[in-house]
Chain A
Amino acid sequence: MLSAHLPACFFYFLILLLFFKKAGLNFFATLNSIKYFILLLFFIFIARALTVKGDIIFSLYDITITEQSLTEGFLVAFKFFLVMLTGLLFSTTTKPSSVKNAVQWFLKPIPFVPEKRVAVMISLSLSFMPVILKQAKEISDAQKARCANLQKNPVKRIIRLVLPLLKKTFISADRLVFAMESRCYNDDRTDPEFLPSGKEIPFLIGSFIISLSLAWL
């Protein structure tokens, strides 16, 4: 993706727009929700535009803007933008649990991979992220309340945050093991409700072709 050039990027952009339309998402509302990210992209563009060397089109004292720098800057920013859009499209249209079920389905034909355990791990990390983040916030607030922000050494600050967080996470994991065990957890479980629609294989081939044509463009 990152080695693709301008035509390929536009082609991909069109495909994405198509998907946005199909998913019934408003493209401009989406843009609005990532406006700070776009600001960041703008800075990336400027940084690029000012640093890449080539045929000068404008120069003021030491600041030079070249043709190459403009295209290069635009390209980099545009690529980040596309990656971001793809991610957004994915996360707004797909329920985490369907991702989990799909992963389990795709892993099934692969030997030596316990696909059911992987699926449980995915759903555990999905449901535990918020808990861990909440704990991190609590710890950092508790430390701030005792003026931990006077400590200027960032390494020490991180250590102070990470150690208690790890400890808490381990304790939570311990409790979780108890909770899962008391509900008879084992690897041999009912399959999730994921009905292969029969379109998976054509879809795989289709995305392969799109990637190939992008590389070729």
Chain B
Amino acid sequence: MQELIIDINAICHTFSDGYVGIKNISVSISKGEFIILAGKNGSGKTTLLRHLNGLLLPDSGHISVNGHDVSKHLIQTRKTVGMVFQDADTQIVGDTVFDEVAFGLENLKVKRAEINKKVTLILENLNLFHLKDRSPSTLSGGEKRKLAIAGILVMDPEVIVFDEPFSNLDYPGTIQVLSTIINLNQSGHTIIIATHDVETIIYEATRIIIMEKGLIKEDGEPDSIVKYLESYGVKEPCSSKFGLGLQPWLP
């Protein structure tokens, strides 16, 4: 049995306008898993993800990360669970690439010398170092997404949550981000990806969770679930349709 890292226990969330975002969700996530959270638009994926690092708190039920209750250990949770948002533009805070990556560490009151060291290392790892003095608004879509990932990675999270990481990316951009994500999983990070287009990542995933109308409908290994995808409004990968099983998307 793998070591548990996130434990979600019967959570519900109702928005202030009375709309029920998610209902009675229970999931356990172990270290090192690569999870796809699939479902069509409005099925509640983003809402569920925001609970994972305490941006939204459940109305009932509870979540624990590394055994600590999220609502009581917010900072601890946010250091453990990093989150890359759907829209790269609205999560960029700094006015240079370097400052943007340093933002999280500054919040944690890390010493300046150590910030410089860590940021440089991350930028080099993600091949962004040559851009360090550029303004983030002048970057390409793929570079922006990688920058957003860098800003999270620098805080050294164990779990990284991606909300639609491939939206608005062209082919090279998708390859860049995808290989970054795969490397992260191989270096031991737990990955959770919300998407309504599973084709690019299904081969890498160890588990798929399907949501519909705020409920979890399926939860299991990709091979066994892939045939049900289309009944929940998610496109089945071509290779599977043609009877070739799951194929890696990367060339």
Which chain A residues have a beta carbon within 8 Å of chain B's beta carbons? Answer: 95-97, 100, 120, 123-124, 126-127, 130-131, 172, 175-176, 178-186, 188-191, 193
Q: Known contacts A183-B104, A183-B151, A190-B115; is A176 also within 8 Å of B135 by CB?
A: no
- How many residue pairs bridge A and B at CB < 8 Å? 85
Chain B binding site: helix, strand, loop or mixed by DSSP?
A: helix
Which chain B residues have a beta carbon within 8 Å of chain A's beta carbons? Answer: 50, 53, 55, 75, 78-79, 82-83, 85, 87, 89-96, 99-100, 103-112, 115-116, 133, 135-138, 151-152, 155
The residue from B85, B133, B136, B137 contacting A179, defined by CB atoms under 8 A apart: B85
A127 touches B135 (CB 8 A): yes
Chain A binding site: helix, strand, loop or mixed by DSSP?
A: helix
Give bound CA distance, A86 to B64, whole Å: 56
Give, as a whole number of angstroms, the nearest-CB distance from B63 to chain A.
15
The 9 A-B pairs with the shortest beta carbon distances in the complex, nearest first, are A179-B91, A130-B137, A175-B90, A183-B104, A126-B95, A190-B106, A184-B107, A189-B106, A182-B83
List chain B residues, Cβ under 8 A from A191: 112
List chain A residues, Cβ under 8 A from B78: 181-184
Question: In the complex, given contacts A180-B103, A182-B82, what are 12 additional A-B residue pairs having Cβ atoms less than 8 angstroms apart?
Answer: A95-B133, A120-B93, A130-B137, A172-B89, A176-B93, A179-B93, A181-B55, A183-B93, A183-B152, A190-B105, A190-B112, A193-B112
Give bound CA distance, A193 to B96, whole Å: 14
A184 touches B95 (CB 8 A): no
Give bound CA distance, A114 to B112, whole Å: 20
Q: Known contacts A127-B137, A183-B155, A190-B115; is A178 also within 8 Å of B50 by CB?
A: yes
B107 touches A182 (CB 8 A): no
Give, as a whole number of angstroms, the nearest-CB distance from A115 to chain B.
14
A123 touches B94 (CB 8 A): yes
Give bound CA distance, A191 to B96, whole Å: 16
List chain A residues, Cβ under 8 A from B115: 190
Give bound CA distance, A130 to B95, whole Å: 11
